[in-house]
Chain A
Amino acid sequence: EIVLTQSPGTLSLSPGERATLSCRASQSVSSSYLAWYQQKPGQAPRLLIYGASSRATGIPDRFSGSGSGTDFTLTISRLEPEDFAVYYCQQYGSSPLTFGPGTKVDIK
């Protein structure tokens, strides 16, 4: 099983700042089958990024993903008020599918 570790656990930033979230895998994620999701309280997760770097439909271009192998990054170039949420990475390249523990981005 591929274990995903996300850092930091919490990121305290102000609107307009840049957010950099890390996701590290215990072994290489095949074909960069790595996704990022955003979840707000009381809501279902929303797909942001798939294939490590492809934005999902309707996702603003301030969200970008990068990385390969075992190290992946989600960057939010300029935080908007609606971006404060919990972000999860997920690998879907090998079974069982696994999620990271999440990074909470909150308002400083």
Chain B
Amino acid sequence: QVQLVESGGGVVQPGRSLRLSCAASGFTFSSYGMHWVRQAPGKGLEWVAVISYDGSNKYYADSVKGRFTISRDNSKNTLYLQMNSLRAEDTAVYYCAKVRGMVTNDAFDIWGQGTMVTVSS
């Protein structure tokens, strides 16, 4: 079935780096734009970044611009989020999400289960 599985979360000190992965299955990964969304503990949803189906276009929320990098490997059906210079306010569950249609910005019809990132000394 259509599935997204995130991994790579954990506890990291402020200023350090972490890379999240999102493994896709059950659909043609290389045809869809993909997003990262995060949710701080007890808070709402915050969009983080998007990448087009072929990786040629990437956009970021202002809160992570210059620190986070979204990428994808279509040969491995995997989405990535490289997070550098991490801050306490980056603490959240990070979800990857697939867009519903064939445009980069669309509703998110499939979500992963999320991976927790805790930034703390």
Cβ of A88 under 8 Å from chain B: yes
Closest-by-CB residue of A relative to B114 is A44
Shortest distance from the beta carbon of B35 to any chain A beta carbon, whole Å? 8
Q: Which of B10-18, B44-52, B74-82 contacts A (4 or more CB under 8 A)?
A: B44-52
Q: Which of A11-19, A20-28, A70-78, A92-100 contacts B (4 or more CB under 8 A)?
A: A92-100
Closest-by-CB residue of B relative to A101 is B44
Establish whether residues B45 and A96, one from each chain, have CB atoms under 8 Å apart when the complex forms. Answer: no
Number of B residues whose C-beta is below 8 Å from A? 20
Cβ of A84 under 8 Å from chain B: no
Q: Mark A26-45, 1 if CB is under 8 A from B, else 0.
A: 00000001010101000011
Establish whether residues A92 and B45, one from each chain, have CB atoms under 8 Å apart when the complex forms. Answer: no
Establish whether residues A56 and B109, one from each chain, have CB atoms under 8 Å apart when the complex forms. Answer: yes
Cβ of A64 under 8 Å from chain B: no
Q: Using Cβ atoms and an 8 Å threshold, which residues of chain B touch A44? A: 95, 111-114
Q: Jot down 9 A-B pairs with beta carbons below 8 A, ordered by A.
A: A33-B106, A44-B95, A44-B112, A45-B111, A93-B105, A95-B105, A97-B35, A99-B46, A102-B44
